[in-house]
Structure 1
Amino acid sequence: MSIIARQTVRSARTALRQQQAPLLRRNLHVDNTAETSLPFPSGPTRKVPVAIGLTTFLVFGFSLPFIAAKFQIAKASW
């Protein structure tokens, strides 16, 4: 039997097995709205708390390397 014929038979068997096996997929649909796209409560009634939290997170994250550098420079001068 030639290589092409063997490959064709093997492909046909695989296709038959795949048709018989159930699809293992989750049917989950979530609408992409402002209330579901973030992992915390948000929306028009929560603008101020979200803005305060975001600002705090960004300021702390941006200033942390500068604080660490200042600490290292101060530590080296002891």
Structure 2
Amino acid sequence: MHRLAVDPGHQGKGLGNFLLQYIENFAIEKGYTSVRIDVYKINETAKALYTRNGYKEIGEVRYPLRKHSYITMEKQLQ
């Protein structure tokens, strides 16, 4: 997954958790062993969401024209 976004007017209602669970279930059904996502390095709220859901920081990606880098996070699936 490249990125996950929830409209600001709907944030704080559990939609991020719901979407992560949906994506993880889909990945498991397809036989994938992990899910990865990039998160803007300064987006502490999103990084906390992924960490609470079992994602670990595994790397960093720099994109041209972006002031800050992105953190790559991954969760191993069962």
Pick the structure with more strand per residue. Answer: 2
Q: Same fold (TM over 0.5)?
A: no
Which of these two proteins has the greater Rg computed from alpha carbons? Answer: 1
Q: Shorter chain as normaliser: what TM range? A: under 0.3
TM-score for the superposition, normalised by structure 1? 0.25
Higher helix content, 1 or 2: 1
